[in-house]
Amino acid sequence: MILGTAGTGKTVMAVHRAFYLAQPGTENAGPVLLLTYNKSLVTYIQHLASDHPGDVTIETYGRFGRGYLASQGLMGYGQIAGSDQREALVEGAVRDVAAGYRPGARFFTRPTDFFLDELAWIEGNGLSTDAEYFDAERVGRQEPLQRRQREAVWAIRETYVAARKAAGLHYDWASLPSAVKAQLHVDSSKRRYKHIVVDEAQDLTPEAIRSLAAAIPPDGSLTLFADYAQQIYGQRVSWRSCGLAVGKVETFIDNYRNSPEIARLAIALANMPHFKDSADLVEPRAPIRAAGAKPTLIACGSSDDEALVVRDAVQSAGRTARVGILTRTRAEARAAIAEVRRTTRVTMLHENNSIATWQAPSGVYAGTYHSGKGLEFDVVVLPYCSDGRRPHADTIAAFGPDEAASRESRLLYVGVTRARDELIISHTGALTTLLPPATPDLYDLYEVTTS
Ligand SMILES: Nc1ncnc2c1ncn2[C@@H]1O[C@H](COP(=O)(O)OP(=O)(O)OP(=O)(O)O)[C@@H](O)[C@H]1O
């Protein structure tokens, strides 16, 4: 287990370790599976691999799980529910179960996101009976559910699974790891991979990690690289809950990416009260890089002004820089580039799986914080960091204000730590309370109002 904060070289080391373990001359060498979250990272690492000897397969967990089950004759074509199908089926299950309760029971009026998240958490932790679910402990600041509420969630889960299977959808992505683990436990054939190396392991569920532990032979190895400050999917989990006998825990604390001024903001963010609820966080250390400029914080008169800030940031960055414009939603990303795209080509991160990730060519990239995961840019612009937008009203409605703050500040942490040299943050009205307050020790402060 390697725990490290942002920019400490986890991806770089994961690649080196994978190729080392696969090198025919290495003691205990064997075929290696290198898992990473990001499809664009898969593409880039595959390109690197062409220069190395040794048998390294690079893919996402989903691809591995689906492929393994197919190899066992357990996965037919189109048997995994897509996210829209899952959402519709869960909505239906909530309605069906609510019908058995008194009309208008408030619990069932919660946003579907809440139920989707709770069911994913159940699957991710491998809870297969109601008794296990009722007793389960959790990490994070999600408001605890009452016993009766958990009973209702379990009934929704059973109804959903039955409806999904009736529709010919044997799996959803959340249930894949349990199916993989269960099959590996009865599969005594020779393992395909001797070693498994995982980058961004904080976003794998405990069940996914357990399934990987079951996928290697007794003389193989499993290496996990993770930063729990960047855990941005669903409820927080701890690798400690996987029940693995971890031989060695290393921590990476030297940040090679961010300028000291940018890292200082990231450290201040990670020290805010709503951030600190995980036992696995590694305290970031100020980087060893040369000093640069403080992050720029720009108070704007309107969101149109914010699009002008983005345009100006791109213009002053010049042609040789890699610029990343990161927002919470795709719609925000499109609005943010409304001005800049009149004169400059912008690559949307989520529409292009083949960009060469952290060593992407110079240019302007835009997308969600999620799509920026694992990547780095010379200049990062984070527009719309306004109170009322961060955390988003939908997240507050689904998870309550404390949990929403906790989740969305992790997204901002990912955004802030993508920047190598320059970071520009803008907001309209008050600054979000998720970021450290607007003080001149952390930021260079500006105001822009055109209208
Ligand atoms: N030992 C090193 N010396 C110098 N530069 C390094 C070293 N290790 C990594 N780097 C550089 O530091 C940057 C961050 O590395 P990398 O992307 O591997 O970090 P990471 O820990 O995976 O980050 P994150 O979790 O934030 O995505 C990259 O530009 C990489 O080339």
The helix, strand and coil proportions of the chain, stated in percent and rounded to the nearest 5, come to 45, 15, 40
Pair (421, 307) in one structural domain? yes
Q: Measured between alpha carbons, how far is 315 from 337 in angstroms, rounded to an integer?
A: 12
Pair (215, 242) in one structural domain? yes
pLDDT tens string 242-269:
888 898 999 998 889 999 999 999 989 9
Q: Is residue 218 part of a domain?
A: yes
Over residues 34-49, mean pLDDT: 74
Return the exposure string of 325-362: e unless at least 16 CB atoms fall within 10 Å of the residue's CB, then b.
Answer: bbbbbbebbebbbebbbeeeebebbeeeeebebbebee
What is the Å distance from ligand 1's center to 205 Cα?
24
Kindly report the protein residue whose alpha carbon is nearest to atom 9 of ligand 1. Answer: 9
Q: Is residue 279 part of a domain?
A: yes
Pair (442, 313) in one structural domain? yes
- Ranking 161-175, 277-291, 297-311 by mean pLDDT, the lowest is 277-291
Pair (213, 154) in one structural domain? no
What is the Å distance from ligand 1's center to 215 Cα?
28
Last residue of a domain, one of 167, 186, 204: 167
Confidence check: pLDDT of 115 > 60: yes
Confidence check: pLDDT of 353 > 70: no
Q: Both tokens of residue 243?
A: 């029940």
Return the exposure string of 429-442: e unless at least 16 CB atoms fall within 10 Å of the residue's CB, then b.
Answer: eebbebbbeeeeeb
Which structural domain range is residue 151 located in? 83-167
Pair (228, 362) in one structural domain? no
Q: Measured between alpha carbons, how far is 125 from 174 in angstroms, rounded to an integer?
A: 10
What is the Å distance from ligand 1's center to 15 Cα?
11
Q: Is residue 162 part of a domain?
A: yes
Report the CATH number at residue 303.
Answer: 3.40.50.300
Q: Is residue 152 part of a domain?
A: yes
Q: Measured between alpha carbons, how far is 299 from 428 in angstroms, rounded to an integer?
A: 6
Pair (69, 160) in one structural domain? no
Q: Of the residues 358, 410, 412, which should be mutated to test ligand 1's pocket, given the most ligand atoms within 8 Å of the CB?
A: 358
Which pLDDT belongs to residue 50?
A: 67
Last residue of a domain, one of 126, 152, 167: 167
Which pLDDT belongs to residue 280?
A: 64
pLDDT tens string 149-188:
999 999 999 999 999 999 999 999 999 999 999 999 999 9
Pair (415, 295) in one structural domain? yes
Q: Both tokens of residue 76?
A: 């037919």
Last residue of a domain, one of 167, 199, 219: 167
Residue 393 CB less than 6 A away from ligand 1: no
Q: What is the average pLDDT score of the chain?
A: 91
Kindly report the protein residue whose alpha carbon is nearest to atom 13 of ligand 1. Answer: 257
Q: Both tokens of residue 174?
A: 């959340």
Pair (197, 151) in one structural domain? no
Q: Measured between alpha carbons, how far is 318 from 306 in angstroms, rounded to an integer?
A: 19
Kindly report the protein residue whose alpha carbon is nearest to atom 12 of ligand 1. Answer: 256
Helix, coil or strand: residue 422 = strand
Kindly report the protein residue whose alpha carbon is nearest to atom 26 of ligand 1. Answer: 6
Q: Is residue 51 part of a domain?
A: yes
Question: Into how many domains does the chain fold?
Answer: 3
Q: Which atom of ligand 1 is nearest to the CA of 252?
A: 21
Which phi and psi (to 5°) does residue 390 adopt? -130, 110
Residue 432 CB less than 6 A away from ligand 1: no
What is the Å distance from ligand 1's center to 214 Cα?
30
Alpha helical stretches, state H, 279-355 = 303-317, 330-336
Residue 10 CB less than 6 A away from ligand 1: yes
Q: Is residue 90 part of a domain?
A: yes
Kindly report the protein residue whose alpha carbon is nearest to atom 3 of ligand 1. Answer: 256
What is the Å distance from ligand 1's center to 9 Cα?
3
Pair (41, 109) in one structural domain? no
Residue 358 CB less than 6 A away from ligand 1: yes
Pair (247, 308) in one structural domain? no
Pair (380, 301) in one structural domain? yes
Which pLDDT belongs to residue 434?
A: 97
Q: Is residue 78 part of a domain?
A: no
Q: Is residue 107 part of a domain?
A: yes
Judge whether 243 is annotated as a binding position.
no
Q: Diameter of the chain by CA atoms?
A: 69
Four-CA torsion 224, 239, 7, 349, nearest 10 degrees:
90
What is the Å distance from ligand 1's center to 238 Cα?
23
Helix, coil or strand: residue 300 = strand
Judge whether 220 is annotated as a binding position.
no
Which pLDDT belongs to residue 47?
A: 67
| pLDDT band, residue 233 (cuts 50/70/90) | confident
Confidence check: pLDDT of 52 > 90: no
Pair (321, 438) in one structural domain? yes
